[in-house]
Structure 1
C-alpha cells in the first residue's frame, strides 16, 4: 500500500488525540511522518569542561555532589545543585520550575544534563536532564534532531513516532530518482537519505542526506515549472494586432521620456502580445522605477488591438492613483478610463458596469471589486495586477476567467535577487526596471540611535515648518511584553506634544479599510502634515510634498522593507531624507543599517537582505508564493537548484521520460493540478 495513503492512525500508540495533534503539524500519513524532517540538530556530544564556550549549549555527564537546594520566589522555584564533572571540577547547575527533581538529585547520583554554560558564574542553566546515563539523547555521535512541535504533542513523542515509522515502514519508501541520475551525482537512495535525516550517524551522513533530498525536491519543482511553462507556450493564445510603432506612439503621450529600462520592458510586452501564446510576464522594478507607465503601455497596446484591459491594485488609494495617471496619459489617445472600487457609488458603479459590458470603457482600474460576478467585459484581452503578491491564485484566476485567454502582466515593487526569482518566478518571463527616471533625487539616509530621538524630531519640525510633510513609522501598535518596541501610540502621543501647531494623523492595520483610505487621502491632499503609521504605508501612496520619513526601531525591519519605506519620499523636486532610529545591538542589525547608508540600489539591497535573513523571512512564505522546500535552501543550495533546472529541461525533452518505469515518481510532478502547485499562476 502507498505510504501516502496509510494514515498515521495505523502506527502503534496513535489514537484520535495524537492523530489530531499530528494533523495540526501537517502530518496525516505515514509518508508525511517519515518526511517530517528536523529543522535543526543539537550537538549533544559530551565534551570536557576545558572545551566549553561561554554562552554555549553543553551536554555533560556528571555526579551530584552534596544536597540540592530549592528556593522559591512566589509560585516559581529555583533548584540548585553542585555537579562534579570530568571527575574533578565542581560547577553549579540550576533548574527553573523543576523543584520536583530534588528527590532524585541525591549525593553521588550520576546524570546527564544539557544546558547553557555561564563561564563567569561557573553555572549550567539546565534545559534537559536524564538519569539514564548509558548514552545521551542523540546517540554516540551527539547529533540530536529537533522537530517543530505543538502543545498537544511534545518532542519526545515525535521522536518515538518517527522511530516507529522508520522501523516499520522505511523499507517501503520508493526511490524518486532514476538510477542513472543518482549515479551521475553520487546521490544516496531515497530510503537511506530519509533515515539519515532522522538518525544521522555523523555530520557527513547528514550532509549527504540533505544533498540527496534537496536535489530531489528541487528537481520535482523544476519539472513542474518547465512543464507549466511548456504547457503555457502551447496553450491557445490570441496574437494581438498591435502596430510595431506602438511604443513610440505611447511615448508621445508621456510628460517625460521613457528610460531605457522602461522601453525594453515595453518592447518585451509588445512582442508577447504579437505572439500567438498568452503573455505571462512579471515587471520587476525598484522603488520609483516607473512600473506604472509600463503597465499603462500594455493597456494601451491592448486598446490598439481592439481589446479591453483591467488593472487591479491592492488598495483603493493606489487604484485611484493609477486611474488618475491613466486619465492623464491615455485620455489623449482616445481611451475611456473607469475606476471601480468599493467606495464607488451605486449610480457610478452601474454606469461603469454598463460601459465594460458594451465595450465603451477601454481600461478599468480597480481593487477586489473587479472580482465580483456582476463585472463582465465585452472583450477583455489584458489583465495587469500591481503588487501582485498581495493577490492570491484564486483571485487572479477569477479575474482571468472574465476574458478569453487574456494576457497577464504582473508588477512587483520588491526587487528579488536572481537566485530567488529562479524559484519564485521560474514559470514566467521577467522584465527588469533597473534604472530610475532622470531628475529623481537621491534620498539622504541618516542613522541615529534611540537616544538621539530629539534630534530627529527637531529635523522633522524644520521640514514641516518649511511646508513639507513627513511620515513617522513604527513596527508595532502596542507595547510588547517580549520585545522592547517603541509603540505606535506612544510615538503619536509624544509627537502630538513635540509638534504642536502641526496636524498629525494616525494610521495602522487594525483600522477599518474605509478609515485607512480616509486618512491616506487626507495626507495626500495636504490636510495632514505628519502621518504616524505602521508599515501600511509601505506601498501605494505617492505624496510628492513628503520629504522626510523617520523609522523607529529600524533594526526590527528587513532591509527590503526599509528600502520600500524609504521610497515613500523623494518623489518631488525637494531634497528628501530618511532617518533610521535604531538600537542596533547585534552584528546583523548593524549590517542592515550600514547597507541602507551605503546604497539606494534596490537589487543590491535585496541580495544583502537575502544573505542576512534567508529566503523564507525575506519574502514571507505565505505572502510571496515562495515554494516551501522541506530540506533545500534556495540560498545555500543555489548550485543544486541550477543543476536541477538543467536536468529537468533535459528530462522533459526526452521521450523515455514519459514511459520509463525509472521516471514514474518524477512524472507525478506533471500530473499535479495547476492550482495545487507551488508556482505562480
Structure 2
C-alpha cells in the first residue's frame, strides 16, 4: 500500500522533519493523513451585526485612504481605515508587519481576521488575505493541529496539504458499500479531505459521521473476532435448561424479582441453551440484586446437569455469598460447598473429592479455586464477582477447569453504555437499574465542616436505635503536606470521645488481610458500632444494620467512588443516611457533590462522571481496556457505537462473509490484525 510508505515520501518532508514526525509516532503517509486537527478556527465571513466585542471575527473589508505606520523603537503598528460590508467604518491594526503599509492602498479589497474591540471600533488583525478569491469567500474553517516536535500548526497544515495532494485520492476504503449506502456515508478519502480541508460545518459533520462509524465498526469487528477465536463460534455446550427453572426459582426468593432481573435471567438462559459459550457481563448498581441473578444462573446450570463455580475477591465476600445461597439454592436442592484459604485441610480434602466425582453442584470460594488441586467433574458455569478484581489470566485458569464453560461476570460499578461497549464490547451485557423490593432509599446531604457537630448528633441518634455507623477518611495517617485533611488514624482517636459508650474501631488498606477480616467480622457481628475506614470498604460485605455513613473531605473522592462508598449503607430495610462533609471550593468538586445529593442512580452518576472527567479519567489512566479513537467520541457517539457493534456482529455471523468479493478489502484489513490470517482456515 502506498499509505504504508514512510512520511519522507511526501514532498517537502526531509530527514529532519521526518525524524520529528516519527518521534511523535507518525511514521507513515497513512499515519500523517490520519493525524487530524484538534480544532478549527471559523474564518467564515460574517456580517457586521454578528460581531461580538472581544471575540475573533473574519470580515470582508475595503481600504479607505492611505495606511499609516507608527514606530516605537523596533516595533511597528500599521493602521488603516476600512469599510466593512460597504457601510461600517472601522480601523484595522497590524503589529510588526511594516511591509503591509505598501499593500494597504486606497480601494484594496481584502479579508481580515482578528479580535474586535467594539469600544475603540478596532480590529486587531492576526491574519490577512489579499487574494480576490478570498474576498469572495462565503466561509472557511482553518484546521489547527497539535504541535509535533516543535512543528507549528501552520507548518503541519502546509505538510498536510502536500500529503493530500500526493496521496489523498489513493486512500483505500475498507468499509463495504452496503454500509455506505445504508447509512448515507461519504467515502473514506472524502472524509479525510473534509477533516483537513472543511468548507463548512456540514463538511465536518459528514466527515465525523463517516470516520466515527468506521473506527467503531472496525474496533467492534476485532473484538467480535477475538471473542470468536477464544470461545469458538460453535464451540461450547448447549445446556438443556428446563422451562420451569424461573417459576421454581421465583418461588423461593424473599421478594419478587424485578423486571430487569427477569430480563437478565432470560438472557442468561438463552445463552446457556446456545451451542457457543456464554460471555456475559452483568452490570448492576449497588443493591440492584445481581447476586440473585447469579444464583439463578447456577440453578439453571444445576438443572441441566452441570457444575458451577462462583469466585469472589475476599474470604468475607465468599462467605457472604455462601450464607445468602444456602436458603435459596439449598432449598432448591443445589449441593454447595465453600472453599477459601481458611478452609481446614480435612474439609478441603473432602470437598475436593466430592467435587471431582460430581457430588457438588456449586463451589463458592476465593483464589483458592484456582489451585491445581481443584478439579471439577463437569464445570459448565463460571461466575466471577467484582470481575475487575481478577486478571484475565486468573479468570482463564478457572475457565480452563471445564470444557469451554459459560462465563458470567458481575460488576457493581455502573459504566455508561458507550464505555461498556468499548471496554467490554466482546461481551454481551445485561443491566440491572431497578432496586428490588424492600430496599430503602439513601438520603444524602452535603454539609460544610462548620456543621460537623450536626453530623455527629445524627450518627448518635442512629446508634441509640441499635444501628451502626461508617466513617470514611481519604488518608490513613496525617500528612505534613495536607495539614487540613483529617486522617483515619486521627479520626478514630477523636471520635472515641464523640461516640463515648460505643465501640469504635479502625480499618485501612495497610493492615494485613487477617487483621482487616477480623475487624470486619466484629463489625458484622455488631461488636463494633462505629467503623472508621479508608476506601478499603468500597466493595465489601453487607451489614444490614449499618445505616449512616459520614464521608470526611468528600471532595477528594471521585463520583463513582463516592457512590460505591455510599452503597455500603442501605443494605437492609431501615432508612439510611449519607453525610458528605466538605468545604469544596472548585467548580468540579462542587458539581460532583451536588450530583451525589441529587440522585442515588448509579447510572446517572456514571454518565455525569464521564461528562466531568472524560473516559480516560473515568476509568483510570492505567485502564488497559480503553481504546483510543481519533474521531469517535465515547461521551457523545453512543448510538454510533451501538449500531457499529450490531453490524459487526451480524457480518461475522454470515457464512458468505468469507467468500464474497465485496468483502475482499475488509478481509485484507483484518488479515493484519495481530495473530490473524484466520479467514483462510
- Report the TM-score range of the alignment, normalised by the length of the smaller protein: 0.7 to 0.9
Provide closer, same or farther for how the CA distance between residues 212 and 475 of structure 1 changes in structure 2, counting only shifts above 3 A.
farther
Preserved CA contact (<8 Å) 1:340 1:352: no
Matches within 5 A, 1:405-444: 405-417=404-416, 421=420, 427-444=426-443
SS in 1 for 2:497: coil
Q: Which residue of 1 aligns with 2:123?
A: none
Asked which structure has the greater CA Rg, the reply is 2
> How far is 1:221 from its partner?
3.5
Matches within 5 A, 1:39-50: 39-40=38-39
TM-score normalised per structure 1: 0.73
Mean Cα deviation higher: 523-532 or 648-657: 648-657
Q: What's the Cα RMSD here?
A: 5.5
Mean Cα deviation higher: 439-448 or 554-563: 554-563
Provide closer, same or farther for how the CA distance between residues 653 and 574 of structure 1 changes in structure 2, counting only shifts above 3 A.
closer
Q: Which residue of 1 aligns with 2:494?
A: 497
Preserved CA contact (<8 Å) 2:507 2:516: no
Q: Which residue of 2 aligns with 1:305?
A: 304
Q: Is 2:383 the counterpart of 1:381?
A: no
SS in 2 for 1:460: helix
Provide closer, same or farther for how the CA distance between residues 326 and 558 of structure 1 changes in structure 2, counting only shifts above 3 A.
same
> How far is 1:159 from its partner?
7.4
SS in 2 for 1:322: helix
Provide closer, same or farther for how the CA distance between residues 524 and 187 of structure 1 changes in structure 2, counting only shifts above 3 A.
same
Provide closer, same or farther for how the CA distance between residues 258 and 196 of structure 1 changes in structure 2, counting only shifts above 3 A.
closer
Provide closer, same or farther for how the CA distance between residues 500 and 166 of structure 1 changes in structure 2, counting only shifts above 3 A.
farther
Alpha-carbon displacement from aligned partner over 1:359-399 (angstroms, at most 9, x marks no partner)? 45432333444345554333211101122244444443332
CA distance in 2 between counterparts of 1:228 and 1:304 reads 31
SS in 2 for 1:500: helix
Mean Cα deviation higher: 160-169 or 388-397: 160-169
Preserved CA contact (<8 Å) 2:486 2:552: no
CA distance in 1 between counterparts of 2:117 and 2:474 reads 33
Q: Is 2:209 the counterpart of 1:207?
A: no
Provide closer, same or farther for how the CA distance between residues 193 and 285 of structure 1 changes in structure 2, counting only shifts above 3 A.
same
SS in 2 for 1:318: helix
Q: Which residue of 2 aligns with 1:449?
A: 448
CA distance in 2 between counterparts of 1:402 and 1:318 reads 22
> How far is 1:568 from its partner?
1.0
Provide closer, same or farther for how the CA distance between residues 118 and 89 of structure 1 changes in structure 2, counting only shifts above 3 A.
closer
Provide closer, same or farther for how the CA distance between residues 493 and 154 of structure 1 changes in structure 2, counting only shifts above 3 A.
farther
Q: Which residue of 2 aligns with 1:219?
A: 217
> How far is 1:268 from its partner?
4.0
CA distance in 2 between counterparts of 1:522 and 1:86 reads 83
> How far is 1:546 from its partner?
1.7
Provide closer, same or farther for how the CA distance between residues 472 and 146 of structure 1 changes in structure 2, counting only shifts above 3 A.
farther
> How far is 1:578 from its partner?
1.1
Q: Which residue of 1 aligns with 2:295?
A: 296
SS in 1 for 2:268: helix
CA distance in 2 between counterparts of 1:492 and 1:41 reads 52
SS in 2 for 1:410: strand
Preserved CA contact (<8 Å) 2:477 2:490: no
CA distance in 1 between counterparts of 2:39 and 2:656 reads 39
CA distance in 1 between counterparts of 2:529 and 2:43 reads 58
Preserved CA contact (<8 Å) 1:282 1:411: yes
Alpha-carbon displacement from aligned partner over 1:68-87 (angstroms, at most 9, x marks no partner)? 9xxxxxxxxxxxx9999999
Preserved CA contact (<8 Å) 2:472 2:488: no
Q: Which residue of 2 aligns with 1:578?
A: 578
Provide closer, same or farther for how the CA distance between residues 540 and 652 of structure 1 changes in structure 2, counting only shifts above 3 A.
same
Q: Which residue of 1 aligns with 2:109?
A: none
Provide closer, same or farther for how the CA distance between residues 614 and 456 of structure 1 changes in structure 2, counting only shifts above 3 A.
same
TM-score normalised per structure 2: 0.73
CA distance in 2 between counterparts of 1:473 and 1:85 reads 64
| Residues paired across the two proteins, number | 634
CA distance in 1 between counterparts of 2:450 and 2:608 reads 27
Matches within 5 A, 1:218-237: 218-224=216-222, 234-237=233-236
> How far is 1:294 from its partner?
1.9
> How far is 1:277 from its partner?
3.5
> How far is 1:210 from its partner?
1.9
1:175 is matched with which residue: 169, 173, 176? 173
Matches within 5 A, 1:626-665: 626-644=626-644, 648=648, 657-665=657-665
Q: Is 2:363 the counterpart of 1:364?
A: yes
CA distance in 2 between counterparts of 1:36 and 1:400 reads 41
Provide closer, same or farther for how the CA distance between residues 167 and 268 of structure 1 changes in structure 2, counting only shifts above 3 A.
closer
Mean Cα deviation higher: 303-312 or 455-464: 455-464
Q: Which residue of 1 aligns with 2:508?
A: 507
Preserved CA contact (<8 Å) 1:389 1:624: no
> How far is 1:542 from its partner?
1.7
CA distance in 1 between counterparts of 2:351 and 2:70 reads 84
Q: Which residue of 1 aligns with 2:87?
A: none
Q: Is 2:295 the counterpart of 1:280?
A: no
Preserved CA contact (<8 Å) 1:64 1:107: no
Q: Flag structure 2 segments of 5+ consecutive residues without an equivalent.
A: 59-67, 82-89, 101-112, 119-125, 131-138, 677-681
CA distance in 2 between counterparts of 1:494 and 1:115 reads 57
Q: Which residue of 1 aligns with 2:103?
A: none
Provide closer, same or farther for how the CA distance between residues 346 and 556 of structure 1 changes in structure 2, counting only shifts above 3 A.
same
Provide closer, same or farther for how the CA distance between residues 106 and 281 of structure 1 changes in structure 2, counting only shifts above 3 A.
closer
Preserved CA contact (<8 Å) 1:64 1:106: no
SS in 1 for 2:565: helix
> How far is 1:435 from its partner?
3.0
Provide closer, same or farther for how the CA distance between residues 280 and 181 of structure 1 changes in structure 2, counting only shifts above 3 A.
closer
SS in 2 for 1:383: strand
> How far is 1:200 from its partner?
4.8
Preserved CA contact (<8 Å) 1:337 1:365: yes
Q: Which residue of 2 aligns with 1:22?
A: 24
Matches within 5 A, 1:41-190: 143-147=142-146, 170=168, 172-179=170-177, 181-182=179-180, 185-190=183-188
Q: Which residue of 2 aligns with 1:246?
A: 245
